[in-house]
Amino acid sequence: MAIQLTPDQEQRIQAIVSAGAYPSTEEALDAAVAAVEIAAAPGFEGSQGELEGLLLDGIDSGDAVEADEAYWTGLRAETDAMAKETSRGSKHIEN
């Protein structure tokens, strides 16, 4: 995938590299992407490696689906059924 930076973004990255914060533009961009990943998962208490693994799992999980009203209705029905089954199971466990 090719990504094109705006002139302002290029200048900002180059200024960071020129200041010695990172040895290359690639490493500066990697750090920027890592910061975005962390910001996209507020409250996540795992490590950066765990977050990256979860993100890759999501990417590899299959084709995207459109989350329209039918999707959410079906998902609610599924989770409601799971909750009912779980509550039935817990009643059998309690004596």
13 shares its domain with 38: yes
Are 57 and 69 within one domain? no
Proportion of the chain above pLDDT 70, given as a percent: 93
CA distance 33 to 28: 9
Residues 71 and 55 reside in one and the same domain: no
Give the mean pLDDT of the chain: 85
Please state, in angstroms and rounded to a whole number, the distance separating the CA atoms of residues 28 and 14. Answer: 9
76 and 35 within one domain? no
pLDDT tens digits along 49-94:
887 888 788 878 888 778 899 999 999 999 999 999 888 765 555 4
Confidence of residue 25 (pLDDT cuts 50, 70, 90): very high
Domain count, the chain: 2
Q: Are residues 13 and 44 in the same domain?
A: yes
Within-domain flag for 2? no
Same domain, 69 and 94: yes
Residue 3 included in any domain: no
Q: Which domain holds residue 55?
A: 9-63
Helix (H) or strand (E) holding 2: none
